[in-house]
Amino acid sequence: MDEFILGIETSCDDTSAAVLEGTIIRSNVTATQDVHRDFGGVVPELASRAHQQNIIPVIDTALKKAKIQKNQLAAVAFTQGPGLLGSLLVGASFSKSFALALGIPLIEVDHMQAHILAHFIEEPQKKIPNPSFPFLCLTVSGGHTQLVLVRDYFDMEVIGQTIDDAAGETFDKAAKILGLAYPGGPIIDELAQNGDPERFLFARPNVPKLDYSFSGLKTSILYFIRDELKKDPDFIKKNRSDLCASIQATIVDILMGKLRNAVQQISDPRYVMREGQMPDPRSRIPDPGSRIVNVAIAGGVSANSALRNALMEAKEKEDWNIFIPPFEYTTDNAAMIAVAGHFKFLKRDFARQSTVPYARSKR
Ligand code: KG4
Ligand code: ZN
């Protein structure tokens, strides 16, 4: 029997706790905070207060659903960062005291690494295919947009990232311009189902290398809507679905463009292997000259249906092996923290009681 690990995630506005037995999920409980809805974004002070209220009931429910007692836990894994400091402190402080009281190890987990490691969560009844190393992961969330070359569980290299806004943030800001609620990504996704993605054209960034930029697109949406509203105050109302579909298509197109470039770069096995490193026998990257590559997506925006469709098309056209995590492990959740905790547990990579959270990415 594998060890039970409790994962705790409080980096933003979701209070989540999960129990994993090895890599197998036993429970994953999340309390989302509705208090931010009217503010068009997360209010940090309200988020940390809500975490304080939610954390004990959420953990209690996660243990009950997993049908285990707290003294059966082998370790507590928590999100150390990046995220909102006030929110992270609630999870970190609770985890430290809980681990100390139970006399079990404490494990610190990087939220962005955990989004990627969500691909290794297993379900008792369902076989979820997981990517073999090395693979390329497009991590797209509310705060990050990164192209990450994943050589091993904790050997990850960011080979491209946004120089300004994140993709999720762009969805959320566009939604705000359209008068939609927060978080706007899922709402745009839904409204876009009935819209024409080619109806409106927006600015595309021109950024070198594998980096992304979304601030120009955001400004282009803002100015376009402002000008159209001057001509017709009902412009948004009349064109809501087409606007959502066109904005979504632009974001997905930008994401896919750099992803394609990145795949081309890493298809060269000399790029993937470091000097003196032996090829990983589990790697599906084939002989030089061949272009099949393992491509994964992670983070909240990977729930987007247009992005998922674009990837499935690329799977056929470009001959990629595609890995899309189950819906519930894409947005913030503690199961991904627990699975990252499991791999650190195997390495006996434990944290000290003096550990502190960090707001910005260390990588
Ligand atoms: O990973 P996540 O839950 O939290 C962060 O770490 O940021 O990502 C949240 C982001 C939000 O910006 C939200 O609008 C976006 O993911 N999102 C989506 C969809 N579902 C969530 N964006 C587009 N389409 C979706 N279906
Ligand atoms: Zn996240």
For residue 302, give the CATH number of its domain.
3.30.420.40
Residue-range definition of the domain harbouring residue 246: 135-325
Distance CA 279, CA 298 (A): 25
Say how many Å lie between the CA of residue 331 and the centre of ligand 1.
6
* 110 and 202 inside one domain: no
Strands 14-21 and 24-32: antiparallel
Say how many Å lie between the CA of residue 228 and the centre of ligand 2.
34
Spatial contact of 48 and 93, defined as CB atoms under 8 Å apart: no
* 236 and 272 inside one domain: yes
pLDDT score recorded for residue 46:
81
Closest ligand to C-alpha of residue 192 is 1
Entry field: residues in the chain:
363
| Cα–Cα separations (whole angstroms), residue 43 to 36, 37, 46, 84 | 6, 10, 5, 10
Say how many Å lie between the CA of residue 172 and the centre of ligand 2.
14
Closest ligand to C-alpha of residue 169 is 1
| Total number of domains constituting the chain | 2
| Cα–Cα separations (whole angstroms), residue 208 to 148, 154, 161 | 17, 27, 11
Which protein residue has the closest C-alpha to ligand 1 atom 23? Answer: 185
* 194 and 93 inside one domain: no
* 153 and 74 inside one domain: no
Strands 14-21 and 4-9: antiparallel
Ligand 2 (ion): residues with CB under 5 Å are 141, 332
Say how many Å lie between the CA of residue 12 and the centre of ligand 2.
8
Residue 97 lies in a domain: yes
Burial 173-199 (b: 16+ CB within 10 A, else e): bbbebbebebbbbbbbbebbeebebee
Residue 205 lies in a domain: yes
Residue 287 lies in a domain: yes
Closest ligand to C-alpha of residue 185 is 1
Say how many Å lie between the CA of residue 189 and the centre of ligand 2.
18
pLDDT score recorded for residue 310:
97
Which protein residue has the closest C-alpha to ligand 1 atom 24? Answer: 304
pLDDT score recorded for residue 1:
73
> Is it the case that residue 281 has pLDDT exceeding 80?
no
* 294 and 202 inside one domain: yes
pLDDT score recorded for residue 282:
44
* Mean of per-residue pLDDT scores for the chain: 91
- Taking the CA of residue 303 as reference, the ligand 1 atom at the shortest distance is 26
Nearest to 221 by CA among 256, 184, 258, 260: 184
Task: Give pLDDT tens digits for 320-356.
Answer: 999 999 989 999 999 999 999 999 999 999 999 999 9
Percent of the chain with pLDDT over 70: 91
* 55 and 20 inside one domain: yes
Say how many Å lie between the CA of residue 256 and the centre of ligand 1.
17
Which protein residue has the closest C-alpha to ligand 1 atom 8? Answer: 300
* 212 and 94 inside one domain: no
Average pLDDT over residues 17-42: 86
Distance CA 21, CA 105 (A): 16
Task: Give pLDDT tens digits for 177-216.
Answer: 999 998 899 999 999 999 999 999 999 999 999 999 999 9
Closest ligand to C-alpha of residue 166 is 1
Residue 357 lies in a domain: no
Residue 360 lies in a domain: no
> Is it the case that residue 293 has pLDDT exceeding 70?
yes
Residue 89 lies in a domain: yes
Average pLDDT over residues 129-140: 93
* 206 and 114 inside one domain: no
Residues 6 or more apart from 270 whose CB is under 8 A from it?
288
To test ligand 1's pocket by mutation, which of 37, 138, 141 has the most ligand atoms within 8 angstroms of CB? 141
> Is it the case that residue 51 has pLDDT exceeding 50?
yes
* 78 and 168 inside one domain: no
> Is it the case that residue 278 has pLDDT exceeding 60?
no
Say how many Å lie between the CA of residue 182 and the centre of ligand 2.
16
Average pLDDT over residues 122-146: 91
pLDDT band at 266 (very low <50, low <70, confident <90, very high): confident
Distance CA 130, CA 125 (A): 15
> In one letter, which amino acid is 311?
L
Percent of the chain with pLDDT over 90: 78
Who lines ligand 1 at CB under 6 A? 12, 141-143, 168, 171-172, 183-186, 189, 299-301, 303-304, 331-332
Which protein residue has the closest C-alpha to ligand 1 atom 22? Answer: 185
Closest ligand to C-alpha of residue 309 is 1
pLDDT score recorded for residue 108:
98
